[in-house]
Structure 1
Amino acid sequence: MRVLVVENYQNTGLGNVGAALAEAKAELDVRRPYLGEELPSDASQHDALVMFGGGQNALADDTHPYFPALLDLIRDFEARDRSVLGICLGSQLLARAFGGTNQVGGATEFGWCGVTLTEAAKSDAVLGAMPVAFPIFQWHDDTFSLPPGAVRLAGSMVAENQAFRLGRAVYAFQFHFEADRAVVNHWSTAFAETVAARWPDWPQRLEAETARNGALADQSGLAIARAWVATI
């Protein structure tokens, strides 16, 4: 199993997704196109694609000129019926790739927040075993409309579209189910200035929120990651 991992920002981390891929003994091909690393021309050499988040928005072709090539690559993976996973910015790029509309701003969530699954999620291969509602880590300002043909799988009070599936195994997740407690602690340090500018009380809240939500969110995130890896 050879999996292409596209990192769109520094210090993102693989978290629960990395753990599930390691359990499956997947070979990871990690590309960092924001640093100028080249993307593959097509999906022929990989069994699956994972795309992580970033501080940029999904329409930022001017500052991230690799986006159009990444959109073509996403569509090629889908056309070959190969599993695709997009998280946060990755989900927004998935929506864009298949005709959804990206909304920049107006949908801010940060910290562990509740998401609720839709009726369609009950029979979904990745989310079908999950509880109807659970806390999971969020960090985003943007959102999107569903692409034509997408199955809506989850929403929240702030962002109606928190997860969707296209076809058999193309999955978009706005929420950061990969972000276990170790990743959240790392982000809280690595992006301390960014966080402090917007949520100055976060260092004081972190310990209590971790105690309240961290263990359940870690369990949920790893379950989702394992279920997605099983689609490859």
Structure 2
Amino acid sequence: MRIHCLQHLEFETLGNINQWVCGRGHTLSRSLPYASTLFPQLDDLDLLIIMGGLMSVYEEDSYPWLKLEKKFVKKCLNEGKAVLGICFGAQMLAEILGSRVSRNEYKEIGWHKVKTIDGNGKFALSSGFPEEFTALQWHGDTFALPENTVRLFESEACREQGFIFRDNVLAVQFHPEVDERCIQDLVENCRSDLVYGRYIQNENDIVDRPDFIEGSASLMFYILDWFESIHLNKTDLWNPGKNFQEEDNGR
């Protein structure tokens, strides 16, 4: 499987994603949209992963490259590519699918409980998640649930923690990809975010949790296993409907 990541932070590492890819013998490539807006040909990728970022999806004036990245992601959706959006990536998917991204009532930073809410068994993905799990959060924005998607997760601080679209597009607000190095890099580069807040943990509580780090790996591996199963059992998992062209969302 050919996996391509859109990386938005210089210090961002792929953590558990890289470990899984190496272990399974797949190929992994990356684009840095903030440095270059050259993206791969759609025929050269099977799974697109949109990583996190410190910017907001609505800050196109400050980050002009966002427009070109969104255009590329829209093309991937229109072609029925499998897509995973993590944190900022989830917010980008929500906006492209027609929803509004805005400031959440609370910043949510640290290890927080997430509940799985898809109890109808419609999606095989949901059945592999426990009813409640702990995941790393690091965000101040949230999104409204897009039409024609199914809400999968929620937390106390943030109602929208993830959704699925067309059986092959997954958005998660939390960070299942983090390993020990990812967390150290986040804390070192984003320490100014660790101020007093209802859902903001201190540095020691974030860094010193090997049990939660191990749990994150299990979540990430399960998600990637699910995408791998889609790739290995290619069927008509999605039905082309609305295309997300430039005029969508007024863009």
- Shorter-chain TM range is 0.7 to 0.9
Question: Aligned ranges for residues 34-183 of structure 1 at < 5 Å?
Answer: 34-35=34-35, 37-40=36-39, 43-120=42-119, 122-183=121-182
Q: 1:117 to 1:197 in 2, by over 3 A?
A: closer
Q: Distance in 1 between matches of 2:156 and 2:40?
A: 39
Q: Distance in 1 between matches of 2:202 and 2:100?
A: 31
Q: Distance in 2 between matches of 1:73 and 1:42?
A: 10
Structure 1: 4+ residue segments shifted above 4 A: 196-201
After superposition, the C-alpha distances for 1:142-200 in whole angstroms (9 at most, x for unaligned) are 000011101111111111110101102111110001112332123223433x2455679
Tell me if the contact between 2:17 and 2:177 (Cα under 8 Å) persists in the aligned partners: yes
Q: Distance in 1 between matches of 2:55 and 2:176?
A: 19
1:38 maps to a residue whose letter is T
State the Cα distance separating 1:118 from its structure 2 match. Answer: 1.2
Q: What secondary structure, in the 3-state scheme, does the structure 1 residue paired with 2:34 have? A: helix
CA RMSD after TM alignment: 2.3
Q: 1:187 to 1:45 in 2, by over 3 A?
A: same
Structure 1 unaligned runs (5+)? none
Structure 1, 41-50 or 146-155: larger mean CA deviation: 41-50
After superposition, the C-alpha distances for 1:15-54 in whole angstroms (9 at most, x for unaligned) are 122222223322222110112x123275232212111011
State the Cα distance separating 1:212 from its structure 2 match. Answer: 5.5
Q: 1:67 to 1:168 in 2, by over 3 A?
A: same
Tell me if the contact between 1:53 and 1:89 (Cα under 8 Å) persists in the aligned partners: yes
Give TM-score, length-normalised by structure 1. 0.88
Query: Aligned residues, how many?
Result: 229
Q: 1:196 to 1:155 in 2, by over 3 A?
A: closer
Tell me if the contact between 2:46 and 2:82 (Cα under 8 Å) persists in the aligned partners: yes
Q: Distance in 1 between matches of 2:174 and 2:131?
A: 15
